[in-house]
């Protein structure tokens, strides 16, 4: 049932395309320049076909050989074009592949550098923390030394302080 319906849809589509092509072709013939060009092309094709027919009648073997040579030449040109396109495609593909590999390597190097910088920054933070603790310790010792100097010099210059310290 569905295949029959699809077949009918395809048939309707082809009819529509055909009718559209005919309508479009007819509509373009209303233009004088188009009619003139179509007539000229038809005459050129007619002349070419007449010449080929005449050549075939006069020299069938030579005409056949000439046409075969033309087909071979066209085939060779087409093969060369295909080869050129294939080479161009391969070259572009190789260049793209090389660029992708370069980007991949650069990305790996960048990631390694980032990881090293991360490690170095952790070490720097640790070193700064250690230095902070060391500075705090040094600061305490400086304060203790200051206190000792201040208290020690007062006790020597002030007899009351020295008596108190002796008690």
Residue 9 lies in a domain: no
Residue 4 lies in a domain: no
Residue 22 lies in a domain: no
The pair of structure tokens assigned to 57 is 């009648």
Residue 35 lies in a domain: yes
Residue 50 lies in a domain: yes
Q: What is the dihedral of CA 47, 60, 74, 37, to 10 degrees?
A: 10
In the chain, % of residues over pLDDT 70: 89
pTM score of the predicted model: 0.37
pLDDT tens digits, 103-161:
899 999 999 999 998 888 888 888 888 888 888 888 898 888 888 888 876 555 555 54
More confident residue, 81 or 5: 81
Residues 117 and 109: their CA atoms lie apart, in Å, by 12
Residue 3 lies in a domain: no
Residue 8 lies in a domain: no
Residues 59 and 61: their CA atoms lie apart, in Å, by 6
The band of 25, judged by pLDDT with boundaries at 50, 70 and 90, is: confident
Given a cut of 50, whether residue 26 has pLDDT beyond it is: yes
**pLDDT of 148:** 86
- Quote the domain boundaries for residue 149: 31-166
In the chain, % of residues over pLDDT 90: 16
The band of 86, judged by pLDDT with boundaries at 50, 70 and 90, is: very high
Into how many domains does the chain fold? 1
**pLDDT of 164:** 46
110, HSE (Cβ side, Cα atoms, 13 Å): 6
Residue 17 lies in a domain: no
């Amino acid at each position: 049932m569905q295949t029959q319906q699809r077949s009918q849809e395809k048939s309707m589509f082809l009819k529509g395309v055909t009718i559209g092509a005919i309508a479009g072709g007819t509509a373009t013939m209303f233009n004088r320049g188009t009619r003139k060009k179509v007539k000229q092309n038809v005459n050129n094709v007619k002349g070419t076909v007449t010449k080929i027919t005449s050549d075939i009648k006069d020299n069938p073997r030579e005409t056949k050989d000439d046409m075969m040579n033309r087909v071979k030449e066209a085939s060779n040109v087409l093969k060369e074009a295909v080869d050129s396109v294939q080479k161009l495609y391969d070259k572009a593909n190789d260049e793209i592949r090389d660029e992708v590999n370069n980007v991949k390597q650069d990305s790996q190097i960048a990631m390694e550098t980032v990881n090293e910088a991360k490690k170095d920054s952790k070490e720097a933070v640790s070193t700064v923390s250690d230095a902070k603790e060391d500075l705090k310790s040094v600061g305490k010792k400086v304060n203790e030394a200051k206190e000792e100097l201040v208290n020690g010099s007062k006790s020597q210059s002030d007899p009351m302080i020295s008596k108190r310290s002796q008690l």
